[in-house]
Amino acid sequence: MSQKQIAGVTIDVNDEGYMTNHAQWNRDVAAALAKEEGIDLTEGHWKVLDFIDKDFKEKSAVPGMRRMNKVGGIETKELYSLFPNGPIKKATKIAGYPKPVSCV
């Protein structure tokens, strides 16, 4: 495990860049992580990030694509539009949660 400076905050990350201590996360950190992924956060992005946060706090697991669709009401097409090339992996990284178990 290592650390990195982002948005004026030191965060703990694993070797893939996922945060390992969600308590260090805030919206500025999210925006900076998104920038690293080439994403400028919009209201649509925040809808996804807020759902991930809420769902993780309830289930203690990152929601998969099906749950995002069925429970979150976020269509697959929209997820790929907001977070291209791996929407669940990118969204959870920006949301400050671990890499989903279902993602390789």
Q: How far is CA 76 from the centre of its chain?
A: 16
Q: Which of 19, 100, 103, 104 is catalytic?
A: 103
Q: Where are the domains of the chain?
A: 2-94
The pLDDT tens digits for 48-89 are 999 999 999 999 999 999 999 999 999 999 999 999 999 999
Lowest mean pLDDT among 1-5, 16-20, 29-33, 34-38: 1-5
Kindly tell me if the per-residue pLDDT of 104 is higher than 60: no
Question: Distance between CA 88 and CA 65 in Å, rounded?
Answer: 7
Question: What are the residues whose beta carbons fall under 8 Å from the beta carbon of 90, sequence distance 6 or more?
Answer: 37, 39, 83, 84
Tell me the C-alpha to C-alpha distance, in Å, between residue 32 and each of 5, 101, 102.
Answer: 10, 24, 25
Place 103 in a pLDDT band, splitting at 50, 70 and 90: low
Angle of helix 27-36 relative to helix 87-94, nearest 10 degrees, comes to: 140
The pLDDT tens digits for 31-54 are 999 999 999 999 999 999 999 999
Place 101 in a pLDDT band, splitting at 50, 70 and 90: confident
Q: Is 9 a catalytic residue?
A: no
